[in-house]
A and B are shown apart, each in its own frame.
Chain A
Amino acid sequence: KNEVEQSPQNLTAQEGEFITINCSYSVGISALHWLQQHPGGGIVSLFMLSSGKKKHGRLIATINIQEKHSSLHITASHPRDSAVYICAVMNRDDKIIFGKGTRLHILP
């Protein structure tokens, strides 16, 4: 079993829909990252969380340390949000463990 599990693996939605991507982890962590990777492009860090909630534009990330779960939400989704979204946790040894990613496709 992977230490970081993301769901769904693939998600197709219509423009304007509210999107939720989930991440569950099984190890003790010091921080959790949400990353975005466009096809053929590099990886961009969206959020780093150790507790609570963060918001940046249409993106919201939450984390529940007790339940070992984080969610990434996208409000008013747009085709340019189409990308792979990756959850990564930093464990207590400062090593980063990546999820397999969620492939999001927003249809116009």
Chain B
Amino acid sequence: EADIYQTPRYLVIGTGKKITLECSQTMGHDKMYWYQQDPGMELHLIHYSYGVNSTEKGDLSSESTVSRIRTEHFPLTLESARPSHTSQYLCASSDYYLSGKLFFGSGTQLSVL
């Protein structure tokens, strides 16, 4: 069974705070992704990684950064949160070279006041 975890599940913070959203998977997947999704809207790719020390920006312009120091861990950091960052953030991973399926975490609902 797929195991991909995101914490926190919900986060309410004030403007200007630095935050890190955590994402971990125990499946040994090389490919990992961060998506942003507003209610009723499609997912937008923020960042992706094809392996350790490999990170790329997605299509959605974002003031966030990511790191991939270990295969299982892909944290997303917002240096200075703004109300426009209020959204749901979804982490995913893929075993592209096996079944190719995507596995999603439960998401982090972020509210910036």
Contacts and interface: CB of A to CB of B under 8 A. Distances in A.
Contact of B100 (A31, A35, A44, A86): A31
A95 B99 CA distance: 17
Contact of A42 (B31, B42, B48, B107): B107
A31 B104 CA distance: 17
Contact of A45 (B50, B102, B105, B107): B102
B45 A95 contact: yes
Interface string B39-79: 00111110010100000001000000000000000000000
Contacts of B105: 42
A50 B99 CA distance: 11
A100 B44 CA distance: 10
A31 B105 CA distance: 21
Interface string B68-112: 000000000000000000000010100010011111111100000
Interface of B: 31, 33, 41-45, 48, 50, 58, 90, 92, 96, 99-107
Contact of A96 (B45, B106, B107): B45
Contact of A48 (B41, B50, B58, B99): B99
Interface of A is mostly: strand
A76 interface: no
Given A43-B90, A94-B50, A99 B42 contact: yes
28 contacts: A31-B100, A33-B101, A35-B102, A35-B104, A41-B106, A42-B104, A42-B106, A42-B107, A43-B90, A43-B92, A43-B102, A44-B104, A45-B101, A45-B104, A48-B99, A48-B100, A48-B102, A50-B100, A86-B42, A94-B31, A95-B45, A95-B58, A96-B33, A96-B102, A98-B42, A98-B44, A99-B42, A100-B41
